[in-house]
Structure 1
């Protein structure tokens, strides 16, 4: 007697279908949420920049701005003060879900820094917002540690892509940022999907990105290739020097000011002297 098969879909096909459906759903949600957060972030940066340029006197209050940001992190952001390093630590040694408060705190801190005339890059904010928002789905979907790594990569990809309007670069950045020199192939679909959805969502809110025009592309000649290799080596040494100096000055500031909120005040007060 021939027994009818209970499941006519091959196990490999059904597993692949469930895998794709799960990550399409998760990354779609990540893209919508992170893209919306990035849209608000870019709008806030534009407002802060325009207001500061119209009220230049606010630059004199940079130490006050540093105090406000320092107090904010001291009293409400102690669990997320490590920033990008916390994302790296959770990726390599998962312990607990990254608190969602990381996203609004870094968003507020960056906008406030620009408002008072300080210097703060967008990439750190993009990575932290994306990672914090994406990691909330770890508990919701009860993801395993291996899947959580893909989730964090998707969040970073969505944040980078939507803030800079570069979904392809954001996806590649996320695939390599956590594991230098290696690509997690199981994360290709989630990372690219999250990047493109987040970028689309940011545009859907009507937030434009800065366009940098490249007037020409140099020809690929032996001389230009050697120059590119040389410049790449210099960039590597520069990045290594920056990492060393960042740790060096962090240690000095910790000795100078035991109370954390006082450190950005010192930095804000010394900036005019350092800039001449």
Structure 2
């Protein structure tokens, strides 16, 4: 009996220790996220007032590629390295990744590259947390600390700790949750979100006002939207992977590749609305939720998709998620008109569902919808994100994401 009590006490003690460790990790990652995020927003504002900076995109790309070749060693793989560590194929993430990814992303956005920011936050969180885990006297932690850091990085940047926790738990292997990392990930996500918010990094959220009645007509429209968002998200992932392979084969020198493609992207950005499709795409997101989406052009989602793929395939730094939010929101605002639905509601559904289908995740986008737009609309987010997940053809922007057999069989 005594041995059983001691065994239970040790088990609960380990759980409590992991939960407690999540606090300092979350605070540290949230603080770094706040510095990175606020600087990035300031850089975006500077570029918006000086669109001529876009002409410097090829030069910025050359500097980024040179820095990674000269200083980066294995860090140039970015999220690929994070996934390899998560799957046990690599042992460590060099700390040099943090300044390289931050500086490269700031340069990308200063000169108008159509890229995101979540890749930076997730990589920073994973790097710092994994380093901490390697220095703690814990037996067989596995990829727990990597998952904890990913959750903290995502939550600190977007202010959505619940979605961040589920994203980190489900993204490494589609169709499987890393439950052993649940408590420390949730604690770290909450700590990171609170810390970044206290340090002035504002959370994006929209209060929807459209009534939601799940009658037959609305359900039919939601099913159609789920299919559309799933196809677009899966298509984005497929096209991005293909573009990286083709450019890598035809332009093997990374400096030549990023300069030549960067020049073409810069020309397109200036020709298409003087930078309308540059940077994160927050301007497009704002337009999607203003005045029934009247400021959204029918082709906004497609041009943002194409320019984001070109930017990231060339080798510029940042991420995909915020542009995916913009693509989904503008696509939703566009589809709302022929369906006769509220533009804000459909934009919100697209915001969450395109992100979910492109990352091959289900639970995270549903909670993104709740945390950003209100949990009163959770049934709609659940339905649309579920359908999008089923129609993304098992594609993911993360090439090293593993799949469970059951996940694939659902699609057959």
Same fold, TM exceeding 0.5?
yes
Q: Which of the residues 156, 162, 166 maps onto 2:160?
A: 166
Greater mean alpha carbon deviation, residues 193-202 or residues 8-17: 8-17
Contact 1:35 1:159 in 2 (8 A): yes
1:179 is aligned to 2:173: yes
Alignment-derived partner of residue 86 in structure 2 = 91
Deviation at 1:21, TM superposition (A): 3.3
Say yes or no: does 1:76 pair with 2:71. Answer: yes
Contact preservation (8 Å) 2:57, 2:266: no
8 Å contact kept, 1:129–1:159:
yes
- The answer for the alignment partner of 1:153 in structure 2 is 147
Q: Which has the higher contact order (CA 8 A, sep 6+)?
A: 1
Distance 1:249 1:8 in 2: 59
Cα displacement (A) at 1:142: 4.5
1:134 to 2:129 alignment: yes
Once the two structures are TM-superposed, the CA of residue 14 in structure 1 deviates from its matched residue by 1.7
Residue 273 of structure 1, CA deviation: 4.0
Contact kept in structure 2, 1:31 and 1:196, CA below 8 Å: yes
Distance between the aligned counterparts of 1:206 and 1:266, measured in 2?
37
In structure 1, runs of 5+ residues without a counterpart are: none
**1:226–1:18 Cα change, 3 Å:** same
Query: What corresponds to 1:198 in structure 2?
Result: 192
Q: Who is 2:227 aligned against?
A: 233
Per mean C-alpha deviation after superposition, the further-off stretch among 198-207 and 179-188 is 179-188
Number of equivalences: 270
2:116 to 121, 135, 148: 121
Match of 1:219 in 2: 213
- State how far apart, in whole Å, the 2-side matches of 1:232 and 1:30 are: 36
Q: Could you tell me which residue of structure 2 aligns to residue 47 of structure 1?
A: 42
Which shows bigger deviation, 220-229 or 148-157?
Answer: 220-229
Residues 1:261 and 2:247 are matched in the alignment = no
Query: What is the CA-CA distance between 1:54 and the residue it aligns to?
Result: 3.0
TM-score normalised by L of structure 2: 0.61
Gaps of 5+ in 2: 272-412
CA distance in 2, matches of 1:17, 1:213: 40
Deviation at 1:217, TM superposition (A): 4.9
Q: In the aligned structure 2, how far is the partner of 1:94 from the partner of 1:255?
A: 25
Counterpart-to-counterpart distance in 2, 1:190 and 1:217: 37
In 1, are the aligned partners of 2:247 and 2:257 still within 8 Å (CA)? yes
CA contact 1:157–1:194 (8 Å) conserved in 2: yes
Highest Rg: 1 or 2?
A: 1
1:31–1:198 Cα contact (<8 Å) kept: yes
Counterpart Cα distance in 1 of 2:87 and 2:15? 24
Report the Cα offset of residue 59 of structure 1: 1.2
- Greater mean alpha carbon deviation, residues 104-113 or residues 7-16: 7-16
CA contact (8 A) 1:23 1:190 kept: yes
Contact 1:97 1:138 in 2 (8 A): no
| Aligned-pair CA distance for 1:104 | 2.0
Task: Say if 1:138 and 1:148, in contact at 8 Å, map to a contact too.
Answer: no
In 2, Cα distance between equivalents of 1:198 and 1:229: 35
> In structure 2, do the counterparts of structure 1 residues 159 and 272 end up closer, same or farther at CA, with 3 Å as the change threshold?
same
SS in 2 for 1:79: helix
> 1:216 deviation in Å?
2.5
**More displaced 10-residue stretch of structure 1: 193-202 or 125-134:** 125-134
Pairs within 5 Å for 1:104-119: 104-119=99-114
Secondary structure class of the residue paired with 2:74 = coil
Task: Determine if contact 2:98/2:124 at 8 Å carries over to the other structure.
Answer: yes
Partner-residue secondary structure (3-state), 1:65: helix
RMSD: 2.2
